[in-house]
Amino acid sequence: MSRLEEEVRRRRTFAIISHPDAGKTTLTEKLLLYGGAIHLAGSVKARRSARHATSDWMKMEQERGISVTSSVLQFEYEGAQLNLLDTPGHADFSEDTYRTLIAADSAVMLLDNRKGVEERTRQLFEVCHRRRTPIFTFVNKCDRAGMEPLQLLDDVERDLGLKCFPITWPIVDGAHFLGVYHRELQQILLFEKGEDHGQRRAAVRVSSLDDAAVADAIGEGAWNRLHEEIELLELAGTPFSPEGFFSGEVSPTYFGSALTNFGVEPFLASFLKLAPTPRPRDSTIGPIQPEDEYFTAFVFKIQANMDPKHRDRIAFVRVCSGHFEAGMTVNHVRTGKSLRLAAPTQFLARERTLVEEAWPGDVVGIHDRGSLRIGDTLSSNGVLEFSGIPRFSPEHFARVRIGDPLRRKQLDTGLKQLSEEGAAQVFFSDSGAGPAPIVGAVGMLQFDVLLHRLESEYGVAAKLDFLPYKVARWVEGPAADIERLARGIGRSLVYDSKDRPLMLFESEWTLRTALEKEDAVRFHDIAP
């Protein structure tokens, strides 16, 4: 076996998807704790003076206790290299999440045991399902009273069409979560709640299902219930199918509490065995295999000012095939120019480490002077391109207003860089970048982040004048017909950074009217 093949087999690249407040950032932190990447877990909702969660490195995230950017967290566990792509949980940042899911080979769907499948979970599941991404399910917050486990799994199957195969099963005594039964290992894992609020690993006692001492430890009621549920799972539960798992139809399922660390370690160990290694990627010349000797990669995220002292700009590059080496020169396919990949870094959230090499599945940070864009392909083998990462039409719009006209240059720089990152989209009333920039966002919270970053990173105090438009579509067709369409009531025409026309509509009704009456103009909800 070549070294390339060995390194591919060691990689696991995955993302966590969930509804807001399901505990995603807490679970991320605990995976790092058990993986040995950190020695003391922080809390996403810690007091301002306390230690913040590793993945939420932006000041705004720390203040609000939410994740609004994607982080890359890379660490080793049991000889494997894990690349965890932490994503925003808030729906207003769904575009950033979608781009990150494209870079992942599998996903962990996190559910709140009291609520089951929620709207945001459903949306992100559909993104994974369309790409046939293998999905693990982790039922979180089992330290609190919630839905009956069997009922929750039944709801997942009815709501998502996803069959769950429980690998661990909760052991509960009334409202107390005591541990899990590991069906594969046929072991009972009883956890002890520490006094450190989950900052360190939970102590665990391992026993067998027929150990009489366990019955005394957990109580007769919990003991009988566990036996009944395990027997029912064996008789009527979903059988595990590797083919079904890799096609995204069957989900290995685990129960636990990220807050108390109960069930986290058995999940991580099982995940390591089942999660897929880097998968082939479709390109314009056919599927690219990870074991192919030539280097290929694509940009799925750009983040400016990760280090405020240096005002840097980092392109997050997912390696798809071959061997990446620091300083190598590759073809930047979109421009056709050669690009030297100097001073590459790997990540643990904001912390960066210089690396000399990387392999398929890894994510590498490349210092960028403004030449790279989201979706760009890098290759040492000609002009192949990976499928592009689409831009979705915004749902909210506002004009950007600044009190000091002398800060216009800084405003333009900030809007350009933030748009290239995908933090917001920038439009102009006139083709060719007119005097009044308009920003568009999928969710309103993106505007808060935009204003915060303009002021903190570019020194621009800006305000927004909100516009009445709720729906937008890129349009193609004869210029005269597009201009005629724009003169209609409840419509407006703007241009994006690539000078493509985008029609704004005040309501779904005005859009539907245009769709029904227009033959010469084509409408796109994703940038053509």
Which has the higher per-residue pLDDT, 302 or 68?
302
CATH of segment(s) 15-68+89-274 = 3.40.50.300
CA distance 474 to 215: 64
Is the per-residue pLDDT at 432 higher than 50? no
Long-range contacts of 44-47 (CB under 8 A, 24+ apart): none
Least confident of 87-96, 217-226, 454-463: 87-96
pLDDT in tens, 511-527: 999 998 888 999 988 77
Contact at 8 Å (CB) between 171 and 256? no
* Rounded Cα gap, residues 14 and 318, in angstroms: 12
Tokens representing 222 are: 């919990």
**Mean pLDDT, residues 85-98:** 64
Dihedral over Cα of 429, 433, 435, 440: its sign: positive
How many angstroms separate the CA atoms of 388 and 459, rounded?
A: 33
Rounded to an integer, what is the distance from CA 473 to the centroid of its chain? 25
| CA–CA distance, 29 with 33 (Å, rounded to integer) | 6
Q: What are phi and psi of 6, to 5 degrees?
A: -65, -45
Are 227 and 168 a contacting pair, CB within 8 Å? Answer: no
Query: Cα–chain-centroid distance for residue 54?
Result: 16
Pairing outcome for strands 163-166 and 250-255: parallel
- pLDDT value of position 130: 81
CA proximity to 393, closest of 501, 481, 300: 501
Asked if 456 and 410 touch (Cβ cutoff 8 Å), the reply is no
- Residue 219: left if φ>0, alpha if ψ -120 to 50, beta else—which one? left
Other beta carbons within 10 Å of 440: 26
How large is the average pLDDT for residues 95-107?
Answer: 85
Q: Which CATH architecture has domain 296-379?
A: Beta Barrel (2.40)
Task: Band the pLDDT of 88: cuts 50, 70, 90.
Answer: low
Residue 90, number of CB atoms within 10 A of its CB: 21
Contact criterion met (CB below 8 Å) for 14 and 31: no
Per cent of the chain over pLDDT 90 is 45
pLDDT band at 91, cuts 50/70/90? low
Closest CA to 18 of 82, 146, 112: 112
Tokens of 319: 């390696």
Give the pair of three-digit tokens for residue 110. Answer: 């996190």
Q: Given the DSSP bridges, would you call strands 396-402 and 437-441 parallel, antiparallel or unpaired? A: antiparallel
| CATH tag for 396-524 (out of 2.40.10.10, 3.30.70.3280, 3.40.250.10, 3.40.1440.60) | 3.30.70.3280
- Mean pLDDT across the stretch 175-202? 82
The angle formed by the CA atoms of residues 301, 302 and 306, to the nearest 5 degrees, is 120
Residue 305 φ/ψ region, left for φ over 0, alpha for ψ in the -120 to 50 degree band, beta for the rest: left
Task: Return the domain boundaries, the chain.
Answer: 15-68+89-274, 296-379, 396-524
Residue type, 442: V
Q: What pTM was computed for the model?
A: 0.78
Q: What is the mean pLDDT of the chain?
A: 84
Structural tokens at position 360: 């398929």
Cα–Cα nearest to 67, from 82, 80, 84: 84
Per the CB < 8 A criterion, the answer to whether 460 and 401 are in contact is no
Distance CA 226, CA 164 (A): 18
Task: Give the span between the Cα atoms of 39 and 34, in whole angstroms.
Answer: 9
Of 112, 113, 108, 139, the closest CA to residue 125 belongs to 108
pLDDT tens-digit map of 241-270: 899 999 999 999 999 999 998 999 999 999
Nearest to 510 by CA among 467, 470, 474: 470
Of 163, 95, 103, residue with least CA distance to 124: 95
Q: Is the pLDDT of residue 271 over 90?
A: yes
